[in-house]
Amino acid sequence: NAGVTQTPKFQVLKTGQSMTLQCAQDMNHNSMYWYRQDPGMGLRLIYYSASEGTTDKGEVPNGYNVSRLNKREFSLRLESAAPSQTSVYFCASSETTAGTGELFFGEGSRLTVL
């Protein structure tokens, strides 16, 4: 049972380059999320998708775009990477957005922007 799978696990970019982080879940969850985690800042929500076909901005959406490709997949795109986007990115999913509070996280993608 894979749960939430993110790719790539590690990536180094130069300033201005673009890339897409891929995320897939096999738990038939409706809601999916992208967080970033920085030292001293905790987890911050970038974008989320409450259900297939919808996406909404979180706390720190600037510089990112997302696509909810289908129920399983939710990708995060950096169009023009900046050093401030160096971070660990976590994708997560949950059955619904409300109530249980249980998010299932992927293993994280460590991105460095030079």
Q: How far, in whole angstroms, is CA 64 from its chain's centroid?
A: 10
Question: What span, in angstroms and rounded, lies between the C-alpha atoms of 31 and 55?
Answer: 10
- Provide the minimum distance between the beta carbon of 56 and another protein in the complex, in angstroms, as a whole number: 8
Length of the chain in residues, anyone? 114
Bridge partners of residue 94, in order along the sequence: 31
Q: Residue 65 or residue 97: which is nearer to another protein going by CB?
A: 97
Q: State which of residues 43, 52, 71, 86 lies at the interface with another protein (CB under 8 A).
A: 43
Q: State which of residues 45, 63, 111, 112 lies at the interface with another protein (CB under 8 A).
A: 45
Q: At a CB cut-off of 8 Å and minimum separation 6, what does 101 contact?
A: none
Angle at 16 between CA 14 and CA 17, to 5 degrees: 65
Q: Which stretch binds another protein (CB under 8 A): 7-15, 17-25, 38-46, 72-80?
A: 38-46
**Counting contacts by CB under 8 A, is residue 7 touching another protein?**
no
Convert residues 83-102 into a mask of x (bound to another protein by CB under 8 A) and - (unbound).
Answer: -------x------xxxxxx
Residue 100 has a CB neighbour count (10 Å cut-off) of 9
Sites of contact with another protein (CB under 8 A):
31, 35, 40-45, 48, 50, 56, 90, 97-103, 105-108
